[in-house]
Amino acid sequence: MSKNKQEKVLNYRVVVEKEYYSDKKPVFVAQVPTLGISDYGLTLEKALDNTEKLIKFHLECLIEEEGTIPEPDDLANIIVTTSQVRLSAKTPFAFA
């Protein structure tokens, strides 16, 4: 007897930043803003793998607790960019 399971594919935006431990070793921190969760890994691939597993676990917990699953991100409407700002060398400032 085979069960015909229907699967849904949900897309959530993941923002990854490279940070450094106090010993200067890199770590990749992945955040999922829509779900309010994050994970990390010593490589980008590991951070993304850990985050994918966490997303699935988080959603399964919400389903089990009969909670509401946040709408997936509409990836067609997400724009990621940077902004470059030039400051005069005479402007005094310090980084946090």
pLDDT at residue 20 above 80? yes
pLDDT at residue 94 above 80? no
pLDDT at residue 92 above 70? yes
44-60 pLDDT per residue, tens: 999 999 999 999 999 99
22 in any annotated domain: yes
pLDDT at residue 2 above 80? no
Domain that holds residue 28: 15-74
Q: Number of folded domains in the chain?
A: 1
28 in any annotated domain: yes
29 in any annotated domain: yes
87 in any annotated domain: no
Cα separation, 28 vs 42, in Å, equals 6
92 in any annotated domain: no
12-27 b/e with 16+ CB inside 10 Å = b? bebeeeeeeeeeeeee
Predicted TM-score of the model (pTM): 0.79
27 in any annotated domain: yes
8 in any annotated domain: no
Nearest C-alpha neighbor of 43 from the set 24, 29, 22: 29
